[in-house]
């Protein structure tokens, strides 16, 4: 089993903000697998299916970013999964815009959504894919920056990063 949690904030207001890279990646993965987000469960909107006989759940927590841990914990518990089955995708202001970084474990860094996931799960031993949205314009408050709409000129670069993140997830789901 694989549970893929793309972190973000729900609603049209946040759809194309830097902080929604996880949701955008979740949408991309679902499209590539021909899964559809249609079920609300475990404080998340989910898309489900099977890949090579393996159950795959793609989730977009409905708890807002900084409370993502509750949704992720419920998804694991209600599906009999462990942190080893989990892949979390999220934005990272400390990584250059358009780059991704893949880790099997590690700290939450400066990301409040990941801090919540780590705190609720009680472990850092799960895979994560970070999509770079930095560097932040230091003249702006970080919250204003991550919740600001992605300028049209930057969307192609970030769309490429979302595709790279999706490819990494698909590689893992396919057992490569």
Of 176, 157, 171, 175, the closest CA to residue 24 belongs to 157
The pair of structure tokens assigned to 4 is 């893929």
Query: In this predicted structure, what is the pLDDT of residue 110?
Result: 84
Of 127, 136, 124, 126, the closest CA to residue 94 belongs to 136
Assess contact for 67 and 132: CB atoms under 8 A: no
Query: In this predicted structure, what is the pLDDT of residue 129?
Result: 98
Model pLDDT for residues 110-146, shown as the tens digit of each residue = 899 999 999 999 999 999 999 999 987 777 888 899 9
CA–CA distance, 19 with 90 (Å, rounded to integer): 8
Query: In this predicted structure, what is the pLDDT of residue 166?
Result: 98
Domain that residue 94 falls in: 2-173
CA–CA distance, 19 with 43 (Å, rounded to integer): 19
Query: In this predicted structure, what is the pLDDT of residue 6?
Result: 98
CA–CA distance, 165 with 143 (Å, rounded to integer): 23
Model pLDDT for residues 89-105, shown as the tens digit of each residue = 999 999 999 999 999 99
Residues tagged active-site: 19
Q: Is the pLDDT of residue 176 over 80?
A: no
The three-state secondary structure class of 94 is: strand
Q: CATH no. for residue 40?
A: 3.40.50.1470
Number of domains in the chain: 1
pLDDT, mean of residues 69-74:
98
The pair of structure tokens assigned to 6 is 């793309």
Model pLDDT for residues 16-71, shown as the tens digit of each residue = 999 999 999 999 999 999 999 999 999 999 999 999 999 999 999 999 899 999 99
- Distance (Å) of CA 151 to CA 17, 70, 105, 136, 175: 9, 31, 31, 14, 36
């Amino acid at each position: 089993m694989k549970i893929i949690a793309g972190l973000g904030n729900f609603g049209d207001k946040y759809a194309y903000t830097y902080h929604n890279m996880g949701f955008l990646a979740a949408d991309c993965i679902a499209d590539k697998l021909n899964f559809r987000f249609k079920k609300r469960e475990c404080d998340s909107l989910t898309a489900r299916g099977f890949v090579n006989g393996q159950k795959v759940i793609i989730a977009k927590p409905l708890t807002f970013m900084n409370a993502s841990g509750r949704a992720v914990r419920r998804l694991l518990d209600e599906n009999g999964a462990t942190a080893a089955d989990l892949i979390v995708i999220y934005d990272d202001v400390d990584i250059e815009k358009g780059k991704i970084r893949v880790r099997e474990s590690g700290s939450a860094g400066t990301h409040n959504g990941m801090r919540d996931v780590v705190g609720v799960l009680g472990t850092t031993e799960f895979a994560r894919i970070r999509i770079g949205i930095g560097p932040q314009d230091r003249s702006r408050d970080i919250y204003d920056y991550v919740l600001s709409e992605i300028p049209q000129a930057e969307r192609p670069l970030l769309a490429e990063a979302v595709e790279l993140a999706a490819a990494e997830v698909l590689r893992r789901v396919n057992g490569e």
